[in-house]
Amino acid sequence: MTISALDLFKIGIGPSSSHTVGPMRAACGFARHLRDAGLLQAVRRVQVRLYGSLAATGIGHGTDRAVVAGLMGIEPDQADPDAMAQAVDGVQLDGRLPLAGGRELAFDWHQDLKLLPVNLPWHPNALRLAAHGGGGVGDVLYENTYYSVGGGFIVDEAQAAAGQTGTADLPLELPYASGEQLLALCRQHGLSVAELVLRNERAWRPEADTRAALLAIWQVMKACVARGLRHEGVLPGGLEVVRRAPAMHARLNARDSRPNLITQTFSAMDWVNLYALAVNEENAAGGRVVTAPTNGAAGIIPAVLHYFMDFQRGAHDGDVVDFLLAATAIGVLIKTNASISGAEVGCQGEVGAACAMAAAGLTQVLGGTPEQVENAAEIGLEHNLGLTCDPVGGLVQVPCIERNAMAAIKAINAAQLALSGDGTHMISLDAAILTLRETGRDMLDKYKETSRGGLAVAYTEC
Ligand code: SF4
């Protein structure tokens, strides 16, 4: 499997990469297939079945609405969140679905979209889409099953059976399958972690294009923070969670004009918290975010990078690129050797991965050696091991929003600890990733994005 930086950092919409972005991409691909195969005019009915974790927490994560948007031909990276919401509301009200943006079909939201709380064989996040030529369920023109395997990545039934992961298999200049191999290659070629990843990205596109694309990703991250600082009110979904970022921003601006020792000391934490809350509140509201590497954990990397760019004297665009490239190296290792899916390994795979990636990125731009980058990533991951996924009400709000702020601070501390040493340490990043995988395997399903355990249950029982 080869994974590009632009596979990990994808522009999408909230609130979830696995439950919103992935299913939307699957539905879009399904509609595109119908059009390309010349079947659109023959379709009379489309049926959607959501399985496993998509059934358990799909409504809270907007999976049903995302799939309908995808069937209309709306791609997550192109979607205007407000226009999309309006279009989906229209389908719900009128019972008419413009398949692939064209021919309208009758669509009964309750009959044609079902939640089935059973797991399909390859992954807990599964959906089955079927296009019928008759009004009933016979006469299947085309059907396929899709698995949303985390971070917006999808595979269909045939790809899943073949062990594929939804990414192209390209020959890389400096391939690595473990942290140990990554470090050995850096030493052998005299490269930083960011430089090595940049070389590998040449398999997809020229270097200049990679730099430009990563800077474009950074613009979307910054725009997300800016919107989160502006948007006030209560988040959708029924938990009545009030957005905190705008008021906190006003408080910080006022307070920093009259600093004292305590406020100066805590100032870094306050700003990092602010940026993380802003992103994750936007994500929870279905806004435009960048998967980093998932939507649920989308605030950690932008918060740390935003803090660095705002407060580090002389920080420049090259730092943004290096930060995201070093973070990519770690995200690739975690996705390849364990998982970044909360439904597969719990929140340790989402927030833990993002924390490790942010720690690596920050260490890179603060001048860390490859060994220190690896050490920072290991610290960031190690202290998230065992973290369960237990979103209250199936919404990506509690504990997710605050959890991003906590992990962003943890990532900075991980970088600090790594930079205070020479990169030698007891537990390797590879061992931490293996532990993530094994811990995820042992974790009960109720702690894997099903909202059947942990805080999700504690809240309803109180
Ligand atoms: S608890 Fe973690 S993994 Fe689960 S939805 Fe929230 S951020 Fe994602």
pLDDT tens readout for residues 118-144: 999 899 999 999 999 975 666 899 999
Q: Residue of the nearest CA to atom 1 in ligand 1? A: 389
Residue 169 within a domain: no
Residue that is last in its domain, among 133, 161, 189: 161
Lining residues, ligand 1, CB within 6 Å? 296-297, 342, 347, 350-351, 389-391, 396, 399-400, 403, 449
Which of 21, 301, 350 gets mutated to test ligand 1 (max ligand atoms within 8 A of its CB)? Answer: 350
Q: What is the pTM of this model?
A: 0.92
Do 183 and 88 share a structural domain?
no
Whether the predicted pLDDT of 462 surpasses 50 = no
The model's pLDDT over 344-358, given as tens digits with 9 standing for 90+, comes to 999 999 999 999 999
The model's pLDDT over 278-298, given as tens digits with 9 standing for 90+, comes to 999 999 999 999 999 999 999
- What separation in Å is there between the alpha carbon of 130 and the centre of ligand 1? 30
Using CA of residue 313, residue 316, residue 318, residue 324, what is the dihedral sign?
Answer: positive
Question: Total structural domains in the chain?
Answer: 2
- What separation in Å is there between the alpha carbon of 298 and the centre of ligand 1? 10
Which of 17, 54, 351 gets mutated to test ligand 1 (max ligand atoms within 8 A of its CB)? Answer: 351
- What separation in Å is there between the alpha carbon of 376 and the centre of ligand 1? 22
Whether the predicted pLDDT of 103 surpasses 90 = no
Residue that is last in its domain, among 161, 187, 205: 161
Distance from C-alpha of 462 to C-alpha of 457, rounded to nearest angstrom: 9
* Average pLDDT of the segment spanning 399-419: 98
Do 201 and 146 share a structural domain?
no
Which of 449, 452, 455, 457 gets mutated to test ligand 1 (max ligand atoms within 8 A of its CB)? Answer: 449
Residue 325 within a domain: yes
- What separation in Å is there between the alpha carbon of 409 and the centre of ligand 1? 17
Do 274 and 143 share a structural domain?
no
Residue 7 within a domain: no
Q: Residue of the nearest CA to atom 6 in ligand 1? A: 400
Where does the pLDDT of residue 368 fall: very low under 50, low under 70, confident under 90, or very high at 90 and above?
A: very high
Do 349 and 232 share a structural domain?
yes
Which pLDDT value is given to residue 349? 98
Distance from C-alpha of 87 to C-alpha of 71, rounded to nearest angstrom: 12
- What separation in Å is there between the alpha carbon of 402 and the centre of ligand 1? 11
Do 215 and 92 share a structural domain?
no
Ligand 1 atom nearest the C-alpha of 61 is 5
The three-state (H, E, C) secondary structure of the chain, written as one string: CCCCHHHHCCEEECCCHHHHHHHHHHHHHHHHHHHHCCCHHHCCEEEEEEEHHHHHHCCCCCHHHHHHHHHCCCCCCCCCHHHHHHHHHHHHHHCEEEHHHCCEEECCHHHHEEEECCCCCCCCEEEEEEEECCCCCCCEEEEEEEEEEECCEEEEHHHHHCCCCCCCCCCCCCCCCCHHHHHHHHHHHCCCHHHHHHHHHCCCCCHHHHHHHHHHHHHHHHHHHHHHHHCCCECCCCCCCECCHHHHHHHHHHHCCCCCHHHHHHHHHHHHHHHHHHHHHHHHCCCEEECCCCCCCCCHHHHHHHHHHHHCCCCCHHHHHHHHHHHHHHHHHHHHHCCCCHHHHCHHHCHHHHHHHHHHHHHHHCCCCHHHHHHHHHHHHHCCCCCCECCHHHCCCCCHHHHHHHHHHHHHHHHHHHHCCCCCCCCCHHHHHHHHHHHHHHCCHHHECCCCCCHHHHHHHC
Residue 45 within a domain: yes
Residue 356 within a domain: yes
Do 283 and 413 share a structural domain?
yes
Q: Residue of the nearest CA to atom 3 in ligand 1? A: 347
Ligand 1 atom nearest the C-alpha of 349 is 3
Report the CATH number at residue 118: 3.30.1330.90
Which of 390, 396, 439, 447 gets mutated to test ligand 1 (max ligand atoms within 8 A of its CB)? Answer: 396
Tell me what the pLDDT averaged over the chain comes to. Answer: 94
Residue 3 within a domain: no
CA distances 132 to 45, 140, 272, 339, 412, Å, are 5, 4, 50, 35, 53
Do 348 and 271 share a structural domain?
yes
Q: Residue of the nearest CA to atom 8 in ligand 1? A: 296
Do 213 and 150 share a structural domain?
no
Do 188 and 129 share a structural domain?
no
How many C-beta atoms lie closer than 10 Å to residue 250's C-beta? 11
Residue 2 within a domain: no
Residue that is last in its domain, among 97, 127, 161: 161
% of the chain residues with pLDDT over 70: 97
Which pLDDT value is given to residue 266? 80
How many C-beta atoms lie closer than 10 Å to residue 171's C-beta? 8
Q: Which residue has the higher pLDDT, 267 or 205?
A: 205
- What separation in Å is there between the alpha carbon of 100 and the centre of ligand 1? 31
Do 142 and 230 share a structural domain?
no
Q: Which domain holds residue 76?
A: 16-161
Name the residue type at position 373. V
Do 153 and 187 share a structural domain?
no
Which pLDDT value is given to residue 137? 60
Contact yes or no for 340/151 (Cβ under 8 A): yes
- What separation in Å is there between the alpha carbon of 350 and the centre of ligand 1? 7
Ligand 1 atom nearest the C-alpha of 297 is 7
The model's pLDDT over 373-388, given as tens digits with 9 standing for 90+, comes to 999 999 999 999 999 9
Do 62 and 129 share a structural domain?
yes
- What separation in Å is there between the alpha carbon of 21 and the centre of ligand 1? 15
Residue 171 within a domain: no
The model's pLDDT over 289-324, given as tens digits with 9 standing for 90+, comes to 999 999 999 999 999 999 999 999 999 999 999 999
Distance from C-alpha of 126 to C-alpha of 117, rounded to nearest angstrom: 10
- What separation in Å is there between the alpha carbon of 6 and the centre of ligand 1? 22
